[in-house]
């Protein structure tokens, strides 16, 4: 019985690793056109990629509202927002949580940018940023820096929630010096 359970755990781990690896392969790469999206934000307003044309966009996917890592990441983007806007960039967060959850999260932490509700995970899948565990679906913590023409400039797979905003700022500065 013990070996059966160990085998079952190993099989489950391999399956999760395989799903994770496949998801990373599906993420758009730097230089490619960013996949389009149209999703409701925390206020119920539909936002699309076209809304941000002509500006840089930090589009970040995160697993769940009101969790420690996601809160740290969102608050860092909030705190760096003025610097990002000064560099011509906007920030948009995306998770599979619903509009109501996003509204509470945004209000609790004073988040001044859109949080998009991708309840079915369709957009997250286009960005190679969905984890599907059968009954549970979560977004992967990936960020895509999209240039003003709608092309992916930089991809941050498995972004560090504590450094993600700072990494985006540094890369924006570097891109604008070119």
Task: Say which DSSP state 35 is in.
Answer: P
* Whole-number Å distance between alpha carbons of 117 and 137: 13
3-state secondary structure of 144: strand
8 Å CB contact between 119 and 138? no
Tokens coding 93: 């967060």
CB atoms within 10 A of CB 94: 27
Burial of 3 (0-12, 13-18, 19+ CB in 10 A): exposed
CA distance 64 to 62: 6
- Residue 70 is among the residues annotated as catalytic for this protein: yes
Catalytic residue among 34, 70, 89, 138: 70
Contact 167/156 with Cβ under 8 angstroms?
yes
Give me 67's structure tokens. 């969790």
How many Cα atoms occupy the beta-carbon half-sphere of 102 within 13 Å? 26
Please give the positions annotated as active site.
70
């Amino acid at each position: 019985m013990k070996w059966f359970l160990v085998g079952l755990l190993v099989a489950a781990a391999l399956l999760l690793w395989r799903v994770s690896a496949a998801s990373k392969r599906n993420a758009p790469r730097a230089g490619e056109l960013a996949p389009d999206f149209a999703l409701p934000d925390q206020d119920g307003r539909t936002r699309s990629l076209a809304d941000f044309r002509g500006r840089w966009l930090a589009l970040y996917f995160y697993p769940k509202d009101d969790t420690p890592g996601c809160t740290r990441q969102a608050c860092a983007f909030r705190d760096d927002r003025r610097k990002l806007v000064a560099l011509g960039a906007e920030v948009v967060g995306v998770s599979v949580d619903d509009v109501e959850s996003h509204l509470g999260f945004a209000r609790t932490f004073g988040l001044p940018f859109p949080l998009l509700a991708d309840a079915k995970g369709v957009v997250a899948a286009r960005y190679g940023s969905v984890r599907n565990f059968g009954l549970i679906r979560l977004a992967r913590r990936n960020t895509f820096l999209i240039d003003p023409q709608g092309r992916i400039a930089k991809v941050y797979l498995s972004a560090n929630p504590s450094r993600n905003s700072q990494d985006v700022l540094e890369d924006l500065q570097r891109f604008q010096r070119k």
